[in-house]
Amino acid sequence: MRLKSSRFSSRLSRRRFIQALLASGLLSNLPLLKTAFAATGLTPTEELRGTEFDLVIANTPVNFTGNPRSATTVNGSIPGPTLRWREGDTVTIRVKNTLEEETSIHWHGIILPYQTDGAPGISFRGITAGETFTYQFKVSQSGTYWYHSHSGMQEQTGLYGAIIIEPLLETIKADRDYLLQLSDWTDEDPMAVFAKLKKQSDYYNFNQSTLADFFRDARRDGFRAALDKRKPWNQMRMSMTDLSDISAYTYHYLINGKTADGNWTGLFNVGETVRLRFINSGAQTFFDVRIPGLQMTVVQADGQNVEPVSVDEFRIGLAETYDVLVTPTAPAHTVFVQSMDRTGFARATLASKPGLVAAIPALDKPVELTMADMMGDMQHGVHARHAKSEYGASVDMRVDMPRVNLDDPGIGLRDNGRRVLTYADLHTIGGALDKRPPSREIELHLTGNMERYSWSLDGVEFGESTPIHFRYGERLRVIFVNDTMMTHPMHLHGMWSELENPQGEFQVRKHVINVQPAQRVSFLVTADALGRWPWHCHLFYHMHAGMFRVVVVA
């Protein structure tokens, strides 16, 4: 008992120390303090062009933090090589596995035969140790995409890279073209991270409300108001600061494999238009992206051209891609990328000559979740409730009346004084690929139990689930209802998801759709891809904890 008490006391003291740093603002510089080391043992990320490619997956020593670790790399680099293809070509990729375990590569967002999708146990058997596996398929699209492992914990340990597909006719004009691949790195064994979350889901969350916060609210709003603010959260045993499962306490945020101190830099000449291709290859981090003092024009989302829209900031969910155009107006600009929970950041620089840097802004203050994030559409007087009687122990809440708006930028970005991108701003050029109305609907609830760190669909974890069946050639409407307080980036392999607005009109074509807390979204799918396809939350640890299904198209 003494030993257990001592460990608990030590953890609590550490939490209070971090909370004090957060409150004082000193933690805003923590990423720079703990990422002052350049990665070693890695080769520079190269760009490979053509129709035939050779990739080697291996364990490689790295040092992002001053502590030597082992990473899973492609051709010795993090990120792996950027693969530049051309629309209409047939590509052949030979992947050699030098690991002592199975591996795989999933071509995220690429439309291809299911046997080449790269999901072990679902679409193929995986790439065994010592084996070379050959992927071959025709490239039928263009834009910015990426690839990553679908085996074990390898995506978290470095196995990812970018794909740029040149269109037959380029309509987006730019003088420079740069890739910015965002990711999160931990020195911990990912299985140890997962085990900690299973034992204590808020283990890495230091944005906890304290007694001092209560008295602050009481002085400002009155004792009763401060109490009422907390009452429903306490009744539901939820936390209004539950923004992210994993924070900068263990994560180090990277751009193109470089820490904030590493400062990846892209050069430009004054007056040039620069295309920036952002990819979120993080395992568990939503990033908010801005270039202080410089407006960005979004021209592509998930590889698909959209009607240009100018913004100051955008949130990029797990596995999403956004292409933006900028015209630099100063000798140097900081590309500032902060985590959604505001515990850390990555940064890069656009500069007119090597060595120039610009000011790095302070992290925004974390914002608490609202009752609408828990309850949904409060205008109708509805409320979230415990759902154990409906879905069992795997679910701790359900939303009675979810909200349907797409014009919400999300927690921490609302009314921040900047023009922030929302899904309501995105309009895919050319409209829907399939003009047919849906012939049927499927509704799925995104569910979980934070105390158990269990994630599921309709209260059923993957291990207990059965496949979802699509009829080949059908057009169907899918409805997601998020019964949790976390945003889930949902990814359907092999087929496009065409998001609808609340009026049922086509909005934007995507391969990942972020579903915000207490939100209902609907999208259309054409089941034009025979085979077996994964369908899962792209939050890495949510997927491993059960928010995953198999779709069979037959």
pLDDT at 367: 87
Three-state SS for 528?
Answer: coil
Supply 6's token pair.
């001592």
d(CA 130, CA 101): 9
> Which helix (DSSP H) or strand (DSSP E) does residue 7 occupy?
helix 2-24
Q: Phi and psi of 520, rounded to 5°?
A: -115, 125
Percent pLDDT > 70 in the chain is 83
Q: Which of 213-222, 279-288, 498-507 has the lowest mean pLDDT?
A: 213-222
DSSP-assigned letter for residue 141: -
DSSP secondary structure, 513-531, as one string: EEE-TTBEEEEEEE----E
Supply 271's token pair.
């007056």
Whole-model pTM over 0.85: yes
pLDDT at 451: 87
Q: Which of 212-216, 219-223, 475-479 has the lowest mean pLDDT?
A: 212-216
pLDDT at 206: 78
Q: Which residue from 445, 356, 452, 449 is spatially nearest to 396, judged by alpha carbons?
A: 449
Cis peptide before 79 (omega within 30 of 0): yes
pLDDT at 388: 47
pLDDT at 368: 83
- CATH number for the domain formed by residue range(s) 47-170: 2.60.40.420
Q: Which residue from 101, 103, 92, 110 is spatially nearest to 159, judged by alpha carbons?
A: 103
d(CA 162, CA 180): 9
Cβ 358 vs Cβ 332: under 8 Å: yes
pLDDT at 99: 98
Percent pLDDT > 90 in the chain is 78
pLDDT at 294: 98
pLDDT at 144: 98
Position 186 pLDDT exceeds 70: yes
Which CA distances in Å does 174 have to 63, 179, 297, 353? Answer: 35, 13, 12, 19
pLDDT at 12: 37
Cβ 110 vs Cβ 143: under 8 Å: no
Fold observed for domain 367-554:
Immunoglobulin-like (2.60.40)
Average pLDDT over residues 204-224: 67
Mean pLDDT score of the chain, rounded to an integer?
88
Average pLDDT over residues 296-303: 98
pLDDT at 252: 97
Q: Which residues, 6+ apart, have CB-to-CB distance to 92 below 8 Å?
A: 51, 52, 53, 134, 135, 136
Domains 47-170 and 367-554 share a fold: yes
Q: Which residue from 515, 316, 291 is spatially nearest to 421, judged by alpha carbons?
A: 316
- The residue count for the chain: 554
The string of pLDDT tens digits covering residues 19-34 is 444 344 444 444 443 4
What is the Cβ-side half-sphere exposure of residue 507, based on CA atoms within 13 angstroms?
21
Domain spans of the chain, in order of start: 47-170, 367-554
User: If pLDDT is split at 50, 70 and 90, which confidence band does 10 have?
Assistant: very low
d(CA 311, CA 98): 44
The string of pLDDT tens digits covering residues 358-400 is 999 999 999 887 766 766 664 443 344 444 447 677 788 888 8
DSSP secondary structure, 72-118, as one string: EEETTBSS-PEEEEETT-EEEEEEEE-SSS-B--EEET----GGGS-
User: If pLDDT is split at 50, 70 and 90, which confidence band does 240 have?
Assistant: low
d(CA 513, CA 521): 9
User: If pLDDT is split at 50, 70 and 90, which confidence band does 207 have?
Assistant: confident
DSSP-assigned letter for residue 498: E
The string of pLDDT tens digits covering residues 167-176 is 999 999 999 9
Q: Which residue from 309, 249, 253 is spatially nearest to 282, judged by alpha carbons?
A: 253
Average pLDDT over residues 134-158: 98
pLDDT at 390: 77
pLDDT at 34: 41
pLDDT at 370: 74
